């Protein structure tokens, strides 16, 4: 006959492992993937361009990496503890590029390069829709989004302007559950504790 004390300890050890796995699964379930759509660029953005704010709902004109042309904006209060995806929707409101000229842009999140895009004379005006996936970038809910021109358009070959209030959608993990979700998590963990006490009894 097996030793009942040893046997009971073995059962408790096995149950403890199961409960630990279940607890980890419960916590992971509340670290949910989500997306936050933010107006970008807005009047609060830092803009380097030949003019800057054009006064007609657009920023311009962009054509020079040497000048440091860029649009940069701090996005706050997203609640995202990490970001692994980004979608851009921008209105190109003016395009006077000629002779096959184009403007290249690099895209940064928290000063980490996450993608690029190009607008050429043949694209005319219209809407840029671009989506990017990348390795997770951790943050405290605030992220610095920056677009930087990487080429020099030759003198006389034009530039582009970008409309205000496009959209940048950040995709990532929300590590701060809502109060109702926290209550459910607490109930689940309490239930696990009760199961363990019943087993010990």
pTM of the predicted model, to two decimals? Answer: 0.74
On whether the CB atoms of residues 147 and 105 are closer than 8 A, the answer is yes
On whether the CB atoms of residues 46 and 71 are closer than 8 A, the answer is yes
The pLDDT of residue 148 is 98
3-state secondary structure the chain: CCCHHHHHHHHHHHHHHHHHHHHHHHHHHHCEEEEEEEECCCCCCEEECCCEECCCCEEEEECECCCCCEEEEEECCCCEEEEEEEEEEEEEEEECCCCCCEEEEEEEECCEEEEEEEEEHHHCCEEEEEEEEEEEEECCCCEEEEEEECCECCCCCCCEEEECCCEEEEEEEECCCCHHHHHHHHHHHHHHHHHHHHHHC
Query: Which pair of tokens denotes residue 6?
Result: 């040893």
The pLDDT of residue 49 is 98
Q: What's the number of CA atoms in the CB half-sphere (13 Å) around residue 48? A: 12
The pLDDT of residue 198 is 53
What does each of the 201 residues of the chain score in pLDDT, given as a tens digit?
444 443 444 334 455 555 555 555 545 444 567 999 999 999 999 999 999 999 999 999 999 999 999 999 999 999 999 999 999 999 999 999 999 999 999 999 999 999 999 999 999 999 999 999 999 999 889 999 999 999 999 999 999 999 998 999 999 998 655 454 445 545 555 554 555 555 555
Q: Which of 64, 61, 101, 80 is nearest to 145 (CA)?
A: 80
The pLDDT of residue 2 is 47
């Amino acid at each position: 006959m097996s030793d009942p004390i040893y046997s009971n300890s073995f059962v408790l050890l096995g149950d403890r492992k199961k409960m630990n796995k279940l607890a980890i699964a419960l916590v992971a379930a509340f670290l949910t993937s989500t997306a936050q759509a933010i107006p970008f660029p807005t009047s609060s953005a830092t803009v380097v361009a030949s003019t800057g704010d054009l006064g007609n709902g657009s920023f311009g004109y962009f054509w020079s990496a040497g000048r440091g042309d860029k649009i940069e904006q701090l996005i706050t209060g997203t609640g995202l503890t990490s970001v692994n995806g980004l979608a851009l929707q921008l209105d190109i409101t003016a395009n006077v590029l000629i002779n096959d000229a184009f403007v290249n842009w690099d895209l940064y999140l928290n000063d980490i390069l996450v993608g690029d895009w190009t607008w050429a004379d043949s694209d005319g005006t219209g809407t840029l829709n671009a989506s990017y996936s990348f390795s997770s970038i951790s943050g405290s809910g605030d992220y610095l989004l920056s677009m930087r021109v990487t080429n020099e358009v030759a003198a006389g070959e034009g530039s582009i302007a970008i409309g205000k209030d496009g959209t940048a959608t950040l995709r990532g993990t929300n590590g701060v559950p809502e109060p109702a979700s926290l209550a459910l998590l607490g109930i689940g963990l309490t239930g696990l504790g009760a199961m363990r006490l019943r087993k010990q009894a």
